[in-house]
Chains A and B, each alone.
Chain A
Amino acid sequence: MVSIDGALLDFKQLERLAAGDSVLHRLDPRAKVLATLAFIVSVVSYGRYELSALIPFFIFPAVLIGAADLPAGYLLKKIALVCPFALLVGIGNPVFDRAVLMQLGPLEISGGWISLASIVVRAALTVSAALILVALTGFPAICRALERLGMPAPFAVQLLFLYRYIFVLTEEGTRASSARELRSCGKKGRGMASYASLLGHLLLRTWQRAERIHMAMLARGFSGVFHSRTKWHFGPAELFYLVGWSALFLALRLCNGSELVGALVTGVFR
């Protein structure tokens, strides 16, 4: 985590994107959740040495970013931040897997490098799909969609509660942390003892907050369900969106688009 403030700001910006008003924003969240899942499953279902067949899948994030007018630079930065974690485990591949799989003139490329590249491409695809889903839909709508799709109600309430208080408590934690930072001198004062009491105090305040919330809930007659004014409707547009993307993913999964294009083009120019 770079800094708490930065992370929080990032978080809020992603959520702000969900307030946009494009055709894609207005779709029923269930269609978006299901299409994203279909996308991730198709990408992940490839074998480890698959690289060229994965490339056509970039059409999904590219079209969504374009059509919903999302800030591409911001999303790319977020994706680039996450890729190193996937690289960390994949970096062993070129060392352990030296069988030559591909030959470009004198250059021999081993299976390890190809599978490493494949991991990076997968990471970029899956991460961008998840981020775009949030940026198009927003967290509360995703929760409601999942609940409609069969997620247990207590878990949905838990997610919505968590989401409601995550900003409040992260800001409280940030204040406590920067207060400690200001009082500590170098490493002194940032050790275990002050950390434990900081967390302990945060925990106690959290608990008291929960008790106050509970009283407020009782006063307002909370019945365990969050009500929402928006009515969702799974209409023809949603069906088109879901079936269209799924069909495309299936087609791409069955036939390597990159090789097809490549064969056509190199054929033309020869």
Chain B
Amino acid sequence: MHMADALMSAEVGAAMWAVSAGTIACCSARLGRGVDDRRVPLMGVLGAFLFAAQMINFSIPGTGSSGHLGGGLLLAILLGPGAALLTIASVLVVQALFFADGGLLALGCNIFNVGVIPALIVYPFCYRTLIGNDPSPQRLTLATMISAVLALQLGSFAVVLETLGSGMSSLPFAPFAWLMQPIHLAIGLVEGAVTVAVVSFVRKARPDLLPAGTAAHARRSPARLLVACLACALLTAGAFSGLASRHPDGLEWSIAKVTGKPELSPVQKGVHGAMAAIQGATAWFPEYDFKRPAASVAPLHQSPVTREQVGNLGTSIAGITGTVLTLLFACALGLLLKRRNQ
């Protein structure tokens, strides 16, 4: 479920970074004020526990597949929302850096999808509301299952929105959502079952570890609500900014279609125009470059392609030769530096 850098646009990545960084700053500030310094090593070690637990699989009966713990909800139950978010986020940072699971730019998205959603949205608003004040074991089980499923559904839906907002993948919304949501329904059920099992194990063995009464947690602080609302708002803003930024492309394309010419005017705007001019001046045979493909008039209803992009791709051999040469040059430079080192 982790987003990868390759599927992100810079706008969505930056927006989600801002959201996650802001939330982490808020949670850090709140934890920093707390006097309970027992929590510092506990969070660190539980993060390592989560990391280890995610590597251990179990086989799901009836199917050939295996599952493992995600752990967002479990940590929220054990530690409370703010500390759980920091712990999950720290695990994600390690995974992004060492296993390239997700990516550095996608870290904002991933922290939101698997950290903020279960710990700061689902846990306080769904889990705590459902279990009420004096929960029976059945009620606890049901609340945990529902919360786990909800957390994964929201998380995978956020992945769908972020991917669509980025516009790198051309999967349309409906098939993508239909692909993601049922898979994550199954994953959510497994996650819920594991969380219930582990929590009930801990309750039997060391009941003192779990937060005893719900009274302390019951009062919902307005700050938390504010954070959640802010996060939701920014998520939508991020997703829509990505969609909006693609809009001019479509506009430009429809202008091209209306006028019937792929080239609207010889005047090219901005840096691209300037660079094209320099390129035209420096190339010995500029006419060799930029053969327009017939494709600019082909049906493009799936993907609005601007004239600029078509030009950039270059149907010419020049583009391909240059690409190969540049790649070779980069490799050769690396090898040369390495040789010199040895």
Is A bound to B?
Answer: yes
Q: Which residues of A contact B60 (CB under 8 A)?
A: 192
> Are A65 and B90 neighbours in the complex by a CB distance under 8 Å?
no
- How far apart are the CA atoms of A119 and B166 in the complex, in Å? 12
> Are A37 and B279 neighbours in the complex by a CB distance under 8 Å?
no
User: For residue A123, which residue of chain B has the nearest CB?
Assistant: B6
> Are B56 and A4 neighbours in the complex by a CB distance under 8 Å?
yes
Q: Which residues of B contact A104 (CB under 8 A)?
A: 315, 320
User: For residue B332, which residue of chain A has the nearest CB?
Assistant: A62
- How far apart are the CA atoms of A34 and B169 in the complex, in Å? 28
Q: Which of A89, A190, A214, A270 has the most CB of B within 10 A?
A: A89
> Are B313 and A101 neighbours in the complex by a CB distance under 8 Å?
yes
Assess A49 versus B313: contact at CB under 8 Å? Given A101-B305, A126-B105. yes
User: For residue A253, which residue of chain B has the nearest CB?
Assistant: B271
> Are A55 and B327 neighbours in the complex by a CB distance under 8 Å?
yes
Assess A7 versus B321: contact at CB under 8 Å? Given A63-B333, A97-B303, A204-B205. no
CB A270 to nearest CB in B, in angstroms, measures 6
> Are B330 and A56 neighbours in the complex by a CB distance under 8 Å?
yes
> Are A134 and B202 neighbours in the complex by a CB distance under 8 Å?
no
Q: Which residues of A contact B303 (CB under 8 A)?
A: 97, 99, 111
Query: How many interface residues does A have (CB within 8 Å)?
Result: 133
B288 within 8 A of A: yes
Interface mask (B273-286 → A, CB under 8 Å = 1, otherwise 0) = 00100110011111
Interface mask (B78-108 → A, CB under 8 Å = 1, otherwise 0) = 0000000011011101101111110111000
Within 8 A of B (CB), among A65-87: 65-67, 69, 72, 78-79, 82, 85-86
Number of A-B contacts (CB under 8 A): 422
Assess A259 versus B32: contact at CB under 8 Å? Given A264-B282, A267-B284. no
> Are A262 and B325 neighbours in the complex by a CB distance under 8 Å?
yes
> Are A49 and B309 neighbours in the complex by a CB distance under 8 Å?
yes
User: For residue A12, which residue of chain B has the nearest CB?
Assistant: B98
> Are B338 and A139 neighbours in the complex by a CB distance under 8 Å?
no
5 residue pairs, one from A and one from B, having the closest CB atoms: A262-B322, A161-B44, A66-B337, A62-B334, A196-B197
Binding site for A on B (CB under 8 A): 2, 4-10, 13-14, 24-25, 28-29, 31-32, 37-38, 40-49, 51-56, 58-61, 69, 86-87, 89-91, 93-94, 96-101, 103-105, 163, 167-172, 175-176, 193-194, 197-198, 201-202, 205-206, 209, 271, 275, 278-279, 282-286, 288-289, 291, 293-295, 298-300, 302-303, 305, 309-310, 312-323, 325-327, 329-331, 333-338, 341-342
Name 8 interchain pairs, CB-CB below 8 A, sorted by A: A53-B312, A55-B330, A102-B313, A129-B104, A134-B98, A157-B44, A159-B94, A263-B288
In addition to A159-B90, A263-B322, 13 A-B residue pairs with Cβ atoms within 8 Å of each other are A11-B99, A101-B313, A102-B315, A119-B6, A126-B4, A164-B44, A165-B44, A166-B47, A170-B48, A191-B58, A210-B41, A259-B322, A262-B322
